[in-house]
Amino acid sequence: MKQLLLSGTLFVLFLLEGTVFQVFAPEQYGFEFQLIPRFVTVVVLLVGMYLSPMFGVIFGVIFGLLHDLIYTDLVGVYMFGIAVSAYIIGYLSRVFQLNLFISLVLVLLGFSMLEFYVYELFSLINVTNLSFNSFIYDRYLPSLILNGVFMLIVYFPVKRLLEELSESRRQEN
Amino acid sequence: MPQFFSNKRLIVLLVSIIVLVALIGTSMKERDALTIPEQFFKDSVGWLQSVFYKPANSVAGLFESVEDMKDMYEENKLLKSRLNEFVALSEELKEVKKENAELKNELNIDPSTGISNYQTFHANMIARSPDRWNDLLTIDKGKQDGVEANMAVTTPEGLIGKIKNVQPFSSTVQLVSDVDRTNRIAAMTQEDENVFGTIEGYDTERDVLLFAKIPVDTKVKKGQTVITAGNGGIFPRGIVIGEILDVETDNVGTTQTAYVKPAADLYDINNVMVIDRGAQTVTPSSEEGDEE
């Protein structure tokens, strides 16, 4: 039941990224910078941290693949990216005592890994010709702030859900 | 972290990198159509997306219309003053069209096979790629409604892109701003003489289209309007693309490149029109044969 709730939340976030958020995207109002919503990635990273890295990888593969199929032409880019960053962040999180601040830093680290990986890959295969400078200032930094704020908003409800989930998994074992 | 680099996981990582490269390689190839599972996913998610997009869009539209109301009076005055001009122009257009039809008739050209002849159907945007790397839109009309790959897509202001993939009930539009080596459009300007070239890419930093391959001996000026040329076979002639901002001669000195500001706002898109040039481009000879 709880698992279904988690998957459902992720799917709704996935839909919001491409629909509702695009209605309010800053480019429409003449701003130079881009805000890239990576809400699904943020929650998947939290799953990797609070549930287990393996769960992070599974959700990362599923929602990354969905993102690839629906929003891009290249299959595999986000599937690999989200899964790997969820795995790395999941393992890194075991070193630390998790609290709000550490979680925020780790989520932003995972987000940065994904963003740089996608940028480098897409530059390599000529999907984009954006220069590194404008990538950093017009895209990466504003998006970092957006996703950081999003993480702060969803942190407590998602954390509670994930802790309940890992509790019930422990009882089953 | 001894576990982190254990042999088994390293092998899994390497295998998944190989799979990634293979997947990207296969999906980068020119594909005529998507596979059935891809179409199924896109269609079913597309339906859900429209459930989310439409209410959000109408809420945003409400705010916009409140904003618009402020300028309404001024705008109305201006429009009224332009109205007379419009009447005169439309009379002239009617005259010219009639004359054109007569002349075509004299030359025995079937009016329906013209290069600038087309019909449109309307569609709503239901989603947009959230990562700006791929500038793709999803619209709510698909194969069932007669949409086919490579058709031109416009807003009332001008061209925004072309149909990239078609599913039964939705389709994907590739915007002109998408950086892709296959995203090329035959274009022209028609000020004094027809000047042809191709729209070859998009400068993400300056937000302009590159109108390249213009012969160096032709004069292209700032402020001219660029339209589709229609000799690619799929797009009709005469859809407005944008306005020339700047012209440069290439390094080699054999061609010129103009920077074109798109006429349509590529971000504020709601309703789009899909332009169907019809089947006449596919079988022009057989149609001519049927004429008598």
**Has residue A134 been placed in a domain?**
yes
Tell me: the pLDDT tens digits for B86-95? 888 999 999 9
Amino acid residing at B35: T
B214 touches B258 (CB < 8 A): yes
**Has residue A90 been placed in a domain?**
yes
Cα dist. B115→A91, B159, B228, B236, B290 in Å? 61, 17, 11, 6, 19
User: What residues of B are in contact with residue A27 (Cβ under 8 Å)?
Assistant: 267
Mean pLDDT (whole number) for B284-292: 41
Does A122 have pLDDT greater than 70? Answer: yes
Mean pLDDT (whole number) for B262-288: 69
Q: Which residue of A has its CA nearest to B12?
A: A84
DSSP annotation of B224 reads P
**Has residue A23 been placed in a domain?**
no
**Has residue B287 been placed in a domain?**
no
Judged by DSSP in three states, B234 sits in: coil
Number of domains in chain A: 1
DSSP annotation of A140 reads I
DSSP annotation of A138 reads I
Does B281 have pLDDT greater than 50? Answer: no
**Has residue B23 been placed in a domain?**
no
B236 touches B152 (CB < 8 A): yes
Q: What is the ipTM of this complex?
A: 0.83
Q: Which residues pair with B271 in a beta bridge?
A: B124
B175 touches B133 (CB < 8 A): no
- The pLDDT assigned to A167 comes to 87
Mean pLDDT (whole number) for A39-57: 92
**Has residue A154 been placed in a domain?**
yes
**Has residue A5 been placed in a domain?**
no
- Of the two residues A86 and B238, the one the predictor is more confident about is A86
Number of domains in chain B: 1
**Has residue B200 been placed in a domain?**
yes
CA nearest neighbour of A19 among B221, B37, B59: B59
**Has residue B50 been placed in a domain?**
yes
Per-residue confidence at A11, pLDDT binned at 50, 70, 90?
A: very high
Q: Containing domain of residue A120, as a range?
A: 41-160
Query: Between A36, A70, A75, which is nearest B45 by CB?
Result: A70
B154 touches B164 (CB < 8 A): no
**Has residue A88 been placed in a domain?**
yes
Does B119 have pLDDT greater than 90? Answer: no
Q: Containing domain of residue B111, as a range?
A: 34-281
Mean pLDDT (whole number) for B167-191: 84
**Has residue B163 been placed in a domain?**
yes
Tell me: the pLDDT tens digits for B44-78? 888 888 888 888 888 888 887 887 787 888 888 88
Per CB distance under 8 Å, which residues of A are interface residues toward B? 15-25, 27-28, 34, 36-37, 66, 69-77, 79-80, 83-84, 91, 94-95, 118-119, 122, 125-131, 134, 139
**Has residue A102 been placed in a domain?**
yes
Judged by DSSP in three states, A172 sits in: helix
CATH at residue B75: 2.40.10.350
B41 touches chain A (CB under 8 A): yes
DSSP H/E element including B125: strand B119-128
B141: phi > 0 → left, psi -120 to 50 → alpha, else beta; which? beta
**Has residue A114 been placed in a domain?**
yes
Per-residue confidence at B284, pLDDT binned at 50, 70, 90?
A: very low
